[in-house]
Amino acid sequence: MITSSLIPCGQFKTSYAKDTTIFDTPVMRAWAVVGVLALIAAPMILNNYYLSLLIQIGFMGIAALGLNILVGYTGQISLGHAGFFGFGAFASAWLNNSFGVPVVLAMPLAAVMTTFLGLLFGIPAGRLKGLYLAIATFASQFILEDFFARADWFSGGSSGAAANPVNLFGYDLSGDKGFFYVVLFWVVVMFLIGTNLLRSRDGRAFIAVRDHYLSAEVMGINLTKYRILSFGLSSFYAGLGGALYGHYLGFVSAEGFTILMSIEFLGMIIIGGLGSVAGTLMGTTFMVLLPEVMEGGVGIAKTLVGGNVGWLAEGLASIKQASIGLAIILFLIFEPDGLVHRWRLIRSYWKFYPFSY
């Protein structure tokens, strides 16, 4: 967690206000705005396949940002994020199906429900840290998985629950093109809230708890409060991401939210960069594209070898899973600060090319 200590060369900060700005330079802010505008225009150019990938990156990225607030900023390890993600998906479908709450409202409401669940499961976090917390959340993952399979009234049990498409002012937003804007809206909102929160007093308290919990306590930060708060906050993000996921697929199955998904979320933030909002998006993009790249790679291998490559095609699911594990291991060994660190290095290299440093 050494990230964000590296400042690109040629930048000097002379006031606290400058130190806490989201974008270091006006050019970066302009690029961010251009990026969002480009995404708004994207559905006119891209076909449904690319749009579905972007949508996936969107809702996974929201949930991953929540996990990054918990793990990267507060230093609490959670192995049960997929459980909360799933709870959000089921809660939104349940609110819509059982009480007729419109989907647009059901999604944030489901996120609030997940927050309360997260606060409940965060109670051990008030007492435990590090390894013990990891094991406790590991257990909560299995308890939640079991709950989804069992609670017929809530999740439809083993048969799963149907989730209605998003409908706003009579416009049907169920297709990839329509849903893309729903996800984009929430991504922009949640990332803005996230970045602004992290430069507020509470955000600094999170970082203090992560960096040195004893000093933080001496400075008057209530450790238990902030640990549980961080859990609740990360669950809110997970719940919202899950709700988007549910309404995008139109069907929520109890089998989807396994420990493997929790590991993928952790993989996203580790590959992207712990304690970095931009890194979260990079890691999510990496993690969503990795299986697709693997699939493409297997396809290319098939045409190269030609004919008898049944063992390759059969192993596709295993190859995807193995590549996730391998990516996590390799990143931890060779680039523990994640993609965002690599990106900063590249940027500072080109800044004064060819005379950087």
Q: Does 138 bind another protein (CB under 8 A)?
A: yes
Q: Does 227 bind another protein (CB under 8 A)?
A: yes
Cis bond before residue 354 (omega within 30° of 0): yes
What is the spatial distance between Cα 73 and Cα 211, in angstroms, rounded to a whole number? Answer: 9
Q: Does 325 bind another protein (CB under 8 A)?
A: yes
Q: Which is nearer to another protein, 178 or 336 (CB)?
A: 336
Q: Which is nearer to another protein, 334 or 353 (CB)?
A: 334
Q: Does 326 bind another protein (CB under 8 A)?
A: yes
DSSP of 176-232? HHHHHHHHHHHHHHHHHHHHHHHTSHHHHHHHHHHH-HHHHHHTT--HHHHHHHHHH
Q: Does 321 bind another protein (CB under 8 A)?
A: yes
For residue 199, which phi and psi values (nearest 5 degrees)? -105, 10
Select the residue interacting with another protein from 101, 112, 128, 188 (CB under 8 A).
Answer: 128
H/E segment holding residue 145 = helix 130-150
Minimum gap (Å) between residue 224 Cβ and another protein:
7
Select the residue interacting with another protein from 23, 132, 185, 350 (CB under 8 A).
Answer: 132
Q: Does 168 bind another protein (CB under 8 A)?
A: no
Q: Does 165 bind another protein (CB under 8 A)?
A: no
Q: How many CA atoms lie within 13 A of 267 on its CB side?
A: 24
CB within 8 A of 70, min separation 6: which ones? 76, 78, 230, 231, 233, 234
Torsion on CA atoms 53, 57, 63, 66, rounded to nearest 10: 180
- N- to C-terminal Cα distance for the chain? 24
Q: Does 142 bind another protein (CB under 8 A)?
A: yes
Minimum gap (Å) between residue 126 Cβ and another protein:
7
Q: Are strands 171-172 and 167-168 parallel, antiparallel or unpaired?
A: antiparallel
What is the spatial distance between Cα 169 and Cα 175, in angstroms, rounded to a whole number? Answer: 16
Single out the segment in contact with another protein by CB under 8 A; choices: 41-49, 223-231, 238-246, 341-349.
223-231
CB 264 within 8 A of CB 327: no
Q: Does 218 bind another protein (CB under 8 A)?
A: no
Q: Which is nearer to another protein, 162 or 329 (CB)?
A: 329
Select the residue interacting with another protein from 190, 244, 274, 287 (CB under 8 A).
Answer: 274
> Judged by CB under 8 A, how many residues of this single chain contact another protein?
51
Q: Which is nearer to another protein, 29 or 127 (CB)?
A: 127
Q: Does 263 bind another protein (CB under 8 A)?
A: yes
Q: Does 215 bind another protein (CB under 8 A)?
A: no
Q: Does 273 bind another protein (CB under 8 A)?
A: no
Q: Does 154 bind another protein (CB under 8 A)?
A: no
Q: Does 131 bind another protein (CB under 8 A)?
A: yes
Q: Does 136 bind another protein (CB under 8 A)?
A: yes
Minimum gap (Å) between residue 95 Cβ and another protein:
25
Q: Does 188 bind another protein (CB under 8 A)?
A: no
With H, G, I as helix, E, B as strand and everything else as coil, classify residue 357. Answer: coil
Greatest Cα pair distance, the chain, in angstroms, is: 68
Minimum gap (Å) between residue 113 Cβ and another protein:
21
For residue 194, which amino acid is it? G
Which two tokens mark 79? 């192995």
What is the spatial distance between Cα 78 and Cα 80, in angstroms, rounded to a whole number? Answer: 5
| DSSP structural state of residue 22 | S
Q: Does 167 bind another protein (CB under 8 A)?
A: no
Select the residue interacting with another protein from 112, 154, 336, 351 (CB under 8 A).
Answer: 336
Residues of this chain that interact with another protein (CB under 8 A) are 1, 71, 77, 79, 123-124, 126-132, 134-136, 138-140, 142-143, 146, 149-150, 213, 223-224, 227, 260, 263, 266-267, 270, 274, 314-315, 317-322, 324-329, 332-333, 336
